[in-house]
A and B are shown apart, each in its own frame.
Chain A
Amino acid sequence: MYVATKGGERAIDAAHQWLADERRGDRSVPELSVAQIREQMALAVNRVMAEGSLYDPDLAALAIKQARGDLIEAVFLIRAYRTTLPRFGASVPVETDRMDIIRRISATFKDAPGGQILGPTFDYTHRLLDFKLMADGEAPEALRKEADAVVAPHILQLLDQDGLMEPLTDGDETPPDLTREPLEMPADRPLRLQALARGDEGFVLSMAYSTQRGYGRTHAFVGELRIGTCAVEMEIPELGFAVEIGEIELTECETVNQFTGSKSEPPQFTRGYGLVMGQSERKSISMSLVDRALRWEELGEDNVGAPAQDAEFVLYHCDNIQATGFLEHIKLPHYVDFQSELELIRKLRREAADAQVKEAAE
């Protein structure tokens, strides 16, 4: 229980003012602009958009500045802001096969139609600190090569055509929305994917890693990983047709996993799926692995008791704002709660002491 305590206002005001002062840091160092954060800390911005579940690079950059670089605090700011906005509607599902691709790789097919496009990746770097960046070095311009429009069909379609992939059931039913209805179990796959897409990258990564280490192993291959921009279309009631309302960057991962099959169906590969706002391949690969692990029941696999198979455990703990909200609240005043605990322990000690005295007397 919490009681209203008075008398802290002045201290709180001073604390906030000091926070603003500290946020600015040493005044002899130029101040960061929101545009600088948006352009030069783009992957932090992407993470805040994905976990804040709101695509708006300027707002995410502002949140990072305000939060002094604490990304979970920045996600919190974005989530709070989002709740103040009306929702105009839902988009037509994005068509990721029409993505303007900047990166597209497959770990399963070397010669996939459309080719392997590495894009601006950290892969193959030596992870050595680059001290040139400390010295205001000129950034090199990206190389260019004459390009045709990239025709890059989803790689898993190739396996799909041969009947080797588990079929997908399409449809247009309205998916559940955990921002409107509280998340309840059992959660179907669309709901699980929504929760994972906005889940904490670190948590989802660790869950995925646990499946690779043997806690609910699913033998995943990255069938395809693609990053690029996708048009977002929405039906506009006053116009009577759908128009593009913008364009967002997405990272998509499809995994190919070990088999399912039955007496009537020959063995087929199974799928895991990850889709994340912004450039975030670690998160999207993690999401696909966890998605796949959570599908054990529908695929007729054994529940081996692995954490990543436990939808309730995964989905109720992947949201870093819920987690940090509950975790951090214990530092707020619990004076009355604790007072009752103190009284209780004193009573217990008194009783124990009395019992000892009595024992000694006997």
Chain B
Amino acid sequence: MSTLTTDTRKSYMGLLARARPERLEQLLPDLPAHDWLRRPEIGTTMVRGRIGATGAPFNLGEMTVTRCALKLSDGTVGHAYVQGRDQGHATRAAIVDALMQTEGVEQVDATILAPLRAEEAEKRTSRAEKAAATKVEFFTMVRGED
């Protein structure tokens, strides 16, 4: 756990939360032995916005979230809070969180997180490129001397 910074952990937990459950299952089909600290539980988070984007907060509405906590056989604890209602998704995210704190960190990063990162980047690029194609290029009529 010594090498794992909060920023790294935040970053991959977010990545796991955003991942499609089916994809995570493909990347991590077999689960290592684990004990539950908190079994997968489906609930909600109240999403807040800010008035005028930067003013006082207000409650916009909820989103579904599944959370769990578990312990690997070596005692490493993993947590997960993931969007949606897929308990397998939360379980795998917590397993990955735990594995990232073990000796297996590099392998997990290479075989699970790296593909997720690449696919997400590809998806974002694709959306950004489609958006860019719809950007208006105004033509300005030149009048007078410049």
Contact = CB atoms under 8 A, between A and B. Distances in A.
A205 interface: no
Given A88-B67, A143-B130, A144-B132, A244 B60 contact: no
Contacts of A115: 135-136
B124 interface: yes
B59 interface: yes
Classify chain A's interface size: 35 or more
A93 B132 CA distance: 28
Interface stretch (B13-21, B28-36, B100-108, B110-118): B13-21
A174 B65 CA distance: 21
B1 interface: no
Given A54-B61, A243-B14, A102 B127 contact: yes
A172 interface: yes
B61 A198 contact: yes
B63 interface: yes
Contact of A116 (B10, B56, B81, B136): B136
B10 A117 contact: no
A244 B17 contact: yes
Given A87-B45, A245-B81, A246-B18, A55 B62 contact: yes
A85 interface: yes
A248 interface: yes
Contact of B51 (A97, A116, A190, A248): A190
Residue among B13, B48, B53, B83 with the most chain A CB within 10 A?
B53
Interface in A128-163: 142-147, 149-150, 154, 156
B55 interface: yes
A211 B130 CA distance: 36
Contact of A173 (B13, B14, B56, B125): B56
B54 A243 contact: no
B48 A275 contact: no
Contact of B133 (A88, A144, A197): A144
A305 interface: no
A200 interface: no
Contact of A156 (B52, B67, B69): B52
Contacts of A191: 58
Contacts of B17: 243-246
Interface string A217-253: 0000000000000011010101101111111101010
A11 interface: no
Given A150-B128, A236-B79, A254-B52, A55 B63 contact: yes
A339 interface: no
Specify which of A198, A244, A252, A254 lies most central, judged by the most chain B CB atoms within 10 Å of its CB.
A244
13 contacts: A49-B61, A82-B44, A86-B44, A89-B46, A94-B60, A97-B53, A143-B133, A175-B58, A190-B56, A242-B10, A246-B83, A250-B49, A273-B51
Interface of B: 6, 9-10, 13-14, 17-18, 41-65, 67, 69, 79, 81-85, 124-136, 138
